[in-house]
Amino acid sequence: MKWWQSGFLMISVFSIIACLGLLVPPAAGVAQNMTEHSWIYNQGYSDDMRIYQTTSGFHGQKLVTGTRGTGTISRSIDAHVYGGFEDGFNEIWANEWGVYQNKPSSYSEPITKSDLRNALCAKNYEVGSIYSESYSEIRDLVKDTSVSQTNENSVYSIHTEADGTARVGARVQRSTSSAPAYIMTGSYQGYTNMRMQLESGNASIMTLPCP
């Protein structure tokens, strides 16, 4: 092969790589959004936290909320996160409504613990979402969990009524180079009635069904 032919091939390869590089979005521009509608009633002990953010570091918008302690709570959360899109528009919208009553004597550890357990974990690598739930020391459990996962979006619909220990968790992170748009952890003991709908992916704000 002549030198000019070899040089032409090298230039062609570099041109292809450069073109492909233009098609890959920068780490800071990875688009992701999520929507949450949730309600919980707990008589016993609660320990939960939620983190919402549009970008990492000291940029964009952040929101953190949580509850910990013994008592009775009734709380609803409606929120959506929209960030990382090419137009540069980032947004967090959230509303938390709750009634909290300090009643430490309303919950006590059972004398004999149950060994009955139940667990579920769902992951969508294409969208970057995960949801998990586990129940232990079950005295009573009625659950209705629906999972819908495609290459475009994830929808998790949860309705649980439990007497025992309930743990739930969720995370929405489009890629390893992007900031998690949503992190949720929750642990509840005693009587818990919980409803939650989470959706992430394309146009999640528009497609989430009403609770």
- The domain locations on the chain are 30-207
Mean pLDDT computed over 136-150: 95
Mean pLDDT computed over 5-29: 41
pLDDT value at residue 145: 97
156: closest CA among 101, 194, 198, 211?
Answer: 198
Of 17 and 137, more confident: 137
Res 15 pLDDT > 50: no
- In terms of Cβ atoms closer than 10 Å to its own Cβ (0-12, 13-18, 19+), residue 144 is exposed
Query: pLDDT digit string (tens) for 186-201?
Result: 999 999 999 999 999 8
pLDDT band at 31 (very low <50, low <70, confident <90, very high): confident
The beta-strand segments (E) located in 59-151 are 62-83, 91-101, 118-124, 129-149
pLDDT band at 167 (very low <50, low <70, confident <90, very high): very high
Q: Which residue is it, tokens 């070899």?
A: 6
Query: pLDDT digit string (tens) for 59-81?
Result: 889 999 999 999 999 999 999 99
Of 7 and 33, more confident: 33
